[in-house]
Structure 1
Amino acid sequence: MKTEAIEKIADNLKLKKAVAYAILLALVFLSAVFVVFQVFEYRQDYRKLSTYMRERDDLNAEWGRLLIEQQTFGATAQIGTRAVTQLRMYSPPVAQTVVISLPQTSDEKK
Structure 2
Amino acid sequence: MNTEVVEEKSTKDRTVVRKALTYFVLIALIFISAIMVVFEVYEYRYDYRQMSSLLRNEDDLNAEWGRLLIEQQTFGATAQIGTRAVTQLRMYSPPPSDTVVISLPSTAQQK
- Show the counterpart of 1:43: 45
Percent identity, please: 63
Aligned residues: 106
How far residue 4 of structure 1 moved from its aligned partner, in angstroms, is 2.5
- Show the counterpart of 1:20: 22
CA RMSD of aligned residues (A): 1.0
How far residue 9 of structure 1 moved from its aligned partner, in angstroms, is 1.3
How far residue 30 of structure 1 moved from its aligned partner, in angstroms, is 0.7
Letter in 2 for 1:16: R
Q: TM (normalized to structure 2)?
A: 0.90
Question: What is the distance in 1 between the residues matched to 2:99 and 2:9?
Answer: 123
How far residue 93 of structure 1 moved from its aligned partner, in angstroms, is 0.8
Question: What is the distance in 2 between the residues matched to 1:14 and 1:99?
Answer: 113
Q: 2:9 aligns with which of 7, 10, 15?
A: 7
> For structure 1, which runs of at least 5 residues remain unmatched after alignment?
none
* Deviation by residue 1:26-63 (Cα, 9 ceiling, x = unmatched): 11111111111111111111111011101100100000
Any idea what SS the aligned residue of 1:73 has? helix
* Deviation by residue 1:7-33 (Cα, 9 ceiling, x = unmatched): 221111110000000000111111111
Letter in 1 for 2:37: V
Question: What is the distance in 2 between the residues matched to 1:44 and 1:99?
Answer: 68
Deviates further, 79-88 or 41-50: 41-50
Q: TM (normalized to structure 1)?
A: 0.91
Question: What is the distance in 1 between the residues matched to 2:101 and 2:5?
Answer: 128
Any idea what SS the aligned residue of 1:38 has? helix
Any idea what SS the aligned residue of 1:76 has? helix
- Show the counterpart of 2:105: 103
Question: What is the distance in 1 between the residues matched to 2:56 and 2:103?
Answer: 53
* Deviation by residue 1:36-92 (Cα, 9 ceiling, x = unmatched): 111111111111101110110010000000000000001111111100000000011
